Amino acid sequence: MANRVLIISAVTDDVLALRDALGNARDGPFDVEDVPALAAGVQRLAAGGIDAVLLNLTLPDAQGMTCFDRLYEAACHIPILTLCDLDDEAQAKEAVQRGAQGWLSRGYFDNYLVPQSLRNVIERMKVEQRLYIAQTRAQITLNSIGDAVISVDMHGCVDYLNVAAERMTGWSRDEARGRRVDDILAIVDNVTGRPIPNPLEYILRGDPSADLADECVLIDRQGSRLPIEDSAAPIHDWNRHLVGAVMVFRDISHNVALTAKMRHLAQHDFLTNLPSRMLLNDRVSLAIALARRSNAYPVLLFLDLDKFKHINDSLGHGVGDQLLQAVAERLLACVRTSDTVSRYGGDEFVILLADERHPQDAALTAEKILHALATPFLIGEQELHTSTSIGIGVFPFDGTDAVTLIKNADTAMYHAKERGRNNYQFFHQAMNQRAVERQLIESNLRRALEQSEFTLHYQPKVDLQNHRITGVEALLRWMHPEWGLVQPERFIAIAEECGLIVPIGRWVLREACLQIVRWREASIPGVSIAVNVSAVEFRQRDFFDHALAILEETGADPACLQLELTETVLMRDVATSADLLARFKALGVKIAVDDFGTGYSSLSYLSQFPIDVLKIDQSFVRAIDGEAGKNGAIVGAVIDMGRNLHQRVIAEGVEDEEQLAFLKAHECNEAQGYLFSRPVDAALMQAMFGTGIAA
């Protein structure tokens, strides 16, 4: 099929032959003024299937060139040939530059160019144009994608870079072209930092399956490091011969940063930013593995803040959190950067001294920590005092794996707590016996209720003006069939931890109410019995309902029942406590604040509760040391405060006459202690009501 060529010519004679040769062409003559019409015509014809446009380049000046521009524009997608004099090659080249896809010498026509040759030229030009379009499209695509593309020839020399590759390597296409690819970028393994051969080399060597590093880093012209993900593929010619390779890579710094952030979050404590329990385990395992090959003795310090719960409960979690952050900072300042300070949970911290050469040196670090935490913390307006108990476990003596080592350091920490807090203890095997005993007590406690192994003892409270018994405190005793009498100090805390305190507390309350009724029936009416209520019990939603049911069921007079709660328990949730106390008050039940002076309660809050009795903690009473002493001053102040708030003040743990004299001198209302009587069983107590108190 013949090609359809549009011939546009200002002078017709030199293209007439061509027109004749092609048979189906259209032509001029045309003038400059005709250009707009021609442009419209070209466009129309282009849509109708013109194969090529032949322009006669005889318009010499700038104005003429502008005309050509318009026509090229109108003939978009159609190959444009330019006809010119051989002598005026420069002019023809300019036309090509402006958009013509080729040019023909007028000499062709003078020599009677055969139509077939012209058709070949047109066909070639059409192919070239298609190639041009495809190439342009590929070029635009390659430059608009975010991935970098570099291709090399068979010698590994760069022959192409897209814009992203220019940006990421720091080399422009012109600068890079012809250089070896290794000169313009280096790739190293992100983990080992060792250079990795460029994947293009594998391809050129015919080894596309070679193992490439998962995490690699590109080093650019300036030496900056950029994490990348790459892939490479061979380039073949039409004979399927390898002629080069292309590498595509992308900047994954954002992903790497995100992954690192997520890993950090997973491995660190949100509040203090210290390594979490999980990361600590890894570090301990690693330290143990390294220690096996060196002379190191990794040491673990297990820390628990003393009385942190009091601070958290009475001053709120916000203050507690800030204190933990401040403690974390001080701990970090006590160790080397190669050591690990981790938050193990709540108020527990574990420190790994990974490279200790002399295990006994851990004692120095422990002392440093005790000293660092001894300075009060200023949180907002509050000056807070805390201390810590530290357990120390040393590899390999106290455990040869992370779990055992941490567990034993924890056990040693408990031992430090039992030793009066604010001290450190190295682990030794005997401590494990203590842990075993805890376990044993817990399992036996479960049985004790069903087997009726509990009983209540009573300790009298004495009016200091007339030495009359004003009431008693009920104190739980556990008669174990094999172990004999077990004191509350050995089992109450364990019962609280495992939740058994709830059924045990209900038993105590029922038994105390039954005793109120029994004494009433024995003609000793109006004996007030104080019952200890632990935090776990008080927090039970149905605590009030159960207490009410017990009062109703036993028929005990609520006015004879007194609930003893520590200030910490009351301050935990002030609104709920106030509500609950108001409900008990409405029944006629009395409220006493136990262990007063040991918590952090704000007096303004305390004054909001309907409290009948303040019980001064026995630690203050025991240390009454004369008017000038600090504890004496505290006891005196509490007595004054209770009097002003119209509350009765009871001093606990009164053991000697000197204490009694001091309390009397300060007009303390009541006292309780061995000076008057130890806790005794109900029968002995009943006898005491008849005979009175000796002291």
Ligand X SMILES: Nc1nc2c(ncn2[C@@H]2O[C@@H]3COP(=O)(O)O[C@H]4[C@@H](O)[C@H](n5cnc6c(=O)[nH]c(N)nc65)O[C@@H]4COP(=O)(O)O[C@H]3[C@H]2O)c(=O)[nH]1
Binds ligand X (CB under 6 A): choice among 290, 346, 371, 674: 674
Q: Which residue is nearest to ligand X (CB)?
A: 673
Tokens 């380039």 sit on residue: 235
**Whether 609 contacts 581, CB under 8 Å:** yes
Whichever of 147 and 655 has its CB closer to ligand X, that residue is: 655
By three-state DSSP, how is residue 488 classified? helix
CB 653 within 8 A of CB 671: no
* CA angle, 360 then 365 then 370, to 5°: 125
User: Considering the complex, what minimum distance in angstroms separates the CB of residue 325 from ligand X?
Assistant: 32
DSSP state of 308: H
Q: For residue 554, state whether it binds ligand X (rule: CB under 6 A).
A: no
Supply the minimum distance, in Å, between the C-beta of residue 623 and ligand X: 12
What is d(CA 525, CA 519) in angstroms, rounded to the nearest whole number?
Answer: 6
| 147 vs 656, beta carbon nearer ligand X | 656
673 interacts with ligand X by CB under 6 A: yes
Q: Does 469 bind ligand X (CB under 6 A)?
A: no
Based on CB atoms, which residue is closest to ligand X, 250 or 615? 615
Among 232, 476, 561, 663, binds ligand X (CB under 6 A): 476
384 or 580, CB closer to ligand X? 580
Contact flag: residue 659 with ligand X (CB under 6 A)? no
Residue whose pair of structure tokens reads 């918590």 in the numeric block: 599
Region binding ligand X by CB under 6 A among candidate stretches 247-255, 405-413, 421-429, 650-658: 650-658
CB 71 within 8 A of CB 38: yes
| 679 in contact with ligand X (CB under 6 A) | yes
Site for ligand X in 16-45 (CB under 6 A): none
H/E segment holding residue 344: strand 340-345
Taking the complex as a whole, the smallest distance from the CB of residue 681 to ligand X amounts, in Å, to: 13
Helix (H) and strand (E) counts in the chain: 28, 27
Residue type, 569: V
Taking the C-alpha atoms of residue 511 and residue 682, their distance in angstroms, rounded to an integer, is 11
Q: Which of 442, 655, 680, 693 binds ligand X (CB under 6 A)?
A: 655
Q: Which stretch binds ligand X (CB under 6 A): 109-117, 172-180, 262-270, 651-659?
A: 651-659
Give 133: exposed, middle or buried? Use CB within 10 Å, 0-12, 13-18, 19+: exposed
Out of 449, 488, 503, 689, the residue judged to bind ligand X by CB under 6 A: 488
Q: Which among 71-79, 372-380, 429-437, 488-496 is the span making contact with ligand X, rule CB under 6 A?
A: 488-496
Q: Which of 386, 597, 653, 666 binds ligand X (CB under 6 A)?
A: 653
Question: Binding of ligand X at residue 459 (CB under 6 A)?
Answer: yes
Q: Nearer to ligand X by C-beta: 328 or 501? A: 501
Cα-Cα-Cα-Cα torsion 198, 199, 202, 204, nearest 10 degrees, comes to -90
Question: Which lies closer to ligand X via its Cβ, residue 78 or residue 501?
Answer: 501
Contacts (CB under 6 A) with ligand X, residues 589-608: 594-595
Question: What is the rounded distance in angstroms from the CA atom of residue 232 to the CA atom of residue 149?
Answer: 9
From CA 5, how far away is CA 1, in angstroms rounded?
Answer: 12
Angle between helix axes 543-554 and 574-587 (nearest 10 degrees) is 10
Nearest to ligand X of 329, 657 (CB atom): 657
Query: Token pair of 334, please?
Result: 């006590």
- Tell which one of 211, 214, 489, 521 touches ligand X (CB under 6 A): 489
Query: Do residues 453 and 482 lie in contact, with contact meaning Cβ atoms separated by under 8 Å?
Result: no
| Cα(395)–Cα(608) distance, integer angstroms | 53
The token pair at 163 is: 């814009």
Residue 5 or 494 with smaller CB distance to ligand X:
494
Q: Whole-number minimum distance, CB 508 to ligand X, in Å?
A: 4
Is 657 a binding residue for ligand X by CB under 6 A? The answer is no
CB 302 within 8 A of CB 393: yes
Q: What's the burial of 320, exposed, middle or buried (CB within 10 Å: 0-12/13-18/19+)?
A: buried
Q: For residues 290, 295, 300 and 301, what is the CA-based torsion angle, rounded to 10 degrees?
A: -140
Query: Which one of 7, 104, 370, 475 is in contact with ligand X (CB under 6 A)?
Result: 475
Out of 487, 576, 607, 619, name the contact with ligand X by CB under 6 A.
487
Q: Residues touching ligand X: how many (CB under 6 A)?
A: 21
Q: Can you list the alpha helix ranges (DSSP code H) found in 217-276? A: 253-267
Interacting positions 499-538 with ligand X (CB under 6 A) = 501, 505, 508, 532, 534
By C-beta, is 492 or 561 nearer to ligand X?
Answer: 492
Least distance (Å) from ligand X to the CB of residue 589? Answer: 16
Shortest Cβ 569–ligand X spacing (Å):
10
Q: Which residues bind ligand X (CB under 6 A)?
A: 459, 475-476, 487-489, 492, 501, 505, 508, 532, 534, 594-595, 653-655, 672-674, 679
